[in-house]
Structure 1
Amino acid sequence: MKHPQSEEENAKHVGAPMTGMVVNVKVTAGDKVSKNDPLLIMEAMKMEATVYAEHDGIIGQILGKAKDSVEARDLLIIYK
């Protein structure tokens, strides 16, 4: 499945930082998050990386699900 691309200048978009697989999504739609809260965990070449919130906000939509293979910059989360 092809994911839409995140827009770098759009503060509401959270894109994949690397090509890999989504291992675990730590938030659900409607959750309030603060800067540096973990949003999801990705794995690439047996190394895990956590994607953190870059700012406070409310999660609007989650496009990346556990076990999804994604490319760098694929849109995974959209803030409200």
Structure 2
Amino acid sequence: MSKRRVVVTGLGMLSPVGNTVESTWKALLAGQSGISLIDHFDTSAYATKFAGLVKDFNCDDIISRKEQRKMDAFIQYGIVAGVQAMQDSGP
């Protein structure tokens, strides 16, 4: 097995306060909280009603609708953050 190395030279980020590195950084500097009421499912059976959710997420320009249906959201987040990191790394 060959020993391959990966070097990350760019940044990509999806978070409860922003869907890019720039928007997340601005929100953090402004003291913005990403915690909000959970609206993705019924929380009546749970004590916790708040969470840090990724908002306004759309990956249609990166992942086809067909492929999105096969993936959990966390996989989509990882792919989008990875694409952002590659774009940030330059040519």
Q: State the TM-score, normalized to the length of structure 1.
A: 0.23
Higher strand share: 1
State the TM-score, normalizing by the size of structure 2: 0.21
Of Structure 1 and Structure 2, the greater helix share is in 2
In our comparison, the structure showing a higher alpha carbon Rg is 2
